Amino acid sequence: MKNILIVGGAGYIGSHTVKQLSNSGYNCIVIDNLIYGHKEAVLTPYFELADLLDKDSLDRVFKKYQIDSVIHFAAFAYVGESVQHPRKYYENNVVGTLNLLDVMLKNNVERIVFSSTCATYGEPQYIPIDESHPQEPINPYGRSKLMVEEVLKDYHQAYGLKYISLRYFNAAGCSKDKDIGESHSPETHLIPLVLQAIINQDKPIKVFGTNYDTPDGTCIRDYIHVEDLAVAHQLALEKLNQYSGCINLGTGIGTSVKEIIATAELVSGQHCPVTFTERRKGDPAKLYATNNKALEILGWVPKYTRIEDIIQTAWDWIKNKRY
């Protein structure tokens, strides 16, 4: 049984990937500093509290377990905060990853799947966005992820590191088993905030902008179910010996903010209180992916293509959140 190190495995996408891999017969070892992660979300007995800025503790984990490959989720991911505190983002997301790579190479571990993001593309120059779209991120968070992508390319050339960078669009939904799910503090993402507004009718969802160049005036995004992302990580892990490069993970389907709200009302059977406010800075009108490369390289096709099914899983979780 192969030992896979899941860095940031107590987070939203990491914890769903641990579950997916464990169910497929891998032995998952989770490292997390629990700043944003949840211990309750870690569905493997092998948990190590460690921080990427502490190389010695990382090295101890690599010495304790015979690690085959790494999946790296650990990052700060609040766009607004990254603009206010760029140092924090470059240190954690870039320096932290350099430390991880140092320790990997020192211990002869040369395979890594990396969590990247569509935020590395910046303002879309055309849509749908394919992997050759120019990468001009518009905030430090996106730049920190792009820097790591570049580092991985260089390490591949220089040291033979095998890597796949997965560029997620909007991760959404929760495990269909309702055992793990999305829980951020503070929460900034649309779907959980809409569902919270339905549960707590005193706190309306703020819709950021209604005059975008879209059919209903609100922003369009590509919502991809977290379990589909988890499957893609397993497929990427299993492709590392044959392919290194960057791959989009999205459904290719765009859904507007108003459509999300209407669908959440349908799923819950309840009204969602809404207020309409100014645009949020840095939000492009439309963002959705082409996912042909994921199919071609990984043989990956998302199972969840109906937004109502994605929101249903988020609703089932949020009503009885465990953490």
Cβ atoms of residues 77 and 115 within 8 Å: no
Q: How far is the CB of 219 from ligand UDP (least distance, A)?
A: 3
Q: How far is the CB of 285 from ligand UDP (least distance, A)?
A: 8
261 is a site residue for ligand UDP (CB under 6 A): no
DSSP string of 210-264? S-SSSTTSS-EE-EEEHHHHHHHHHHHHHHTTT--EEEEE--S--EEHHHHHHHH
Q: Read off the amino acid at residue 237.
A: L
239 is a site residue for ligand UDP (CB under 6 A): no
Q: Read off the amino acid at residue 244.
A: S
CA 311/CA 170 separation, integer angstroms: 13
224 is a site residue for ligand UDP (CB under 6 A): no
Residue 183: how many other CB atoms lie within 10 Å: 21
Residue 125 or 275 having the CB closest to ligand UDP: 275
Q: Which of 265, 283, 309, 316 binds ligand UDP (CB under 6 A)?
A: 283
Q: How far is the CB of 119 from ligand UDP (least distance, A)?
A: 7
Task: Give 108's contacts (C-beta < 8 A, 6+ positions apart).
Answer: none
Q: How far is the CB of 184 from ligand UDP (least distance, A)?
A: 10
Q: Which of 65, 78, 208, 276 binds ligand UDP (CB under 6 A)?
A: 208
219 is a site residue for ligand UDP (CB under 6 A): yes
229 is a site residue for ligand UDP (CB under 6 A): no
Among residues 231, 223, 90, 113, the alpha carbon closest in space to that of 168 is found at 223
CA 78/CA 92 separation, integer angstroms: 12
DSSP string of 266-316? HHHTS---EEEEPPPTT--SB--B--HHIIIII----S---HHHHHHHHHH
Residue 135 or 244 having the CB closest to ligand UDP: 135
237 is a site residue for ligand UDP (CB under 6 A): no
CA distances from 179 to 93, 105, 138, 311 (A): 28, 35, 36, 16
Residue 103 or 197 having the CB closest to ligand UDP: 197
Interface with ligand UDP in residues 134-193 (CB under 6 A):
170, 188-190, 193
Number of residues near ligand UDP (by CB under 6 A): 14
CA 201/CA 198 separation, integer angstroms: 6
Burial of 114 (0-12, 13-18, 19+ CB in 10 A): buried
Catalytic residue among 89, 141, 163, 168: 141
Q: For ligand UDP, which residue has the nearest CB?
A: 219
Give the burial string for 37-54 (b: 16+ CB within 10 Å, else e).
Answer: bbeebbbbebbbebbbee
Q: How far is the CB of 249 from ligand UDP (least distance, A)?
A: 13
63 is a site residue for ligand UDP (CB under 6 A): no
Q: Residue 125: beta bridge partners?
A: none
316 is a site residue for ligand UDP (CB under 6 A): no
Q: How far is the CB of 244 from ligand UDP (least distance, A)?
A: 26
- Catalytic annotation present for 141: yes
The one segment of 17-25, 142-150, 205-213, 311-319 that binds ligand UDP by CB under 6 A: 205-213
280 is a site residue for ligand UDP (CB under 6 A): yes
Residue 206 or 321 having the CB closest to ligand UDP: 206
Residues that bind ligand UDP (CB under 6 A): 170, 188-190, 193, 205-208, 219, 221, 257, 280, 283
Q: Which residues are catalytic?
A: 141
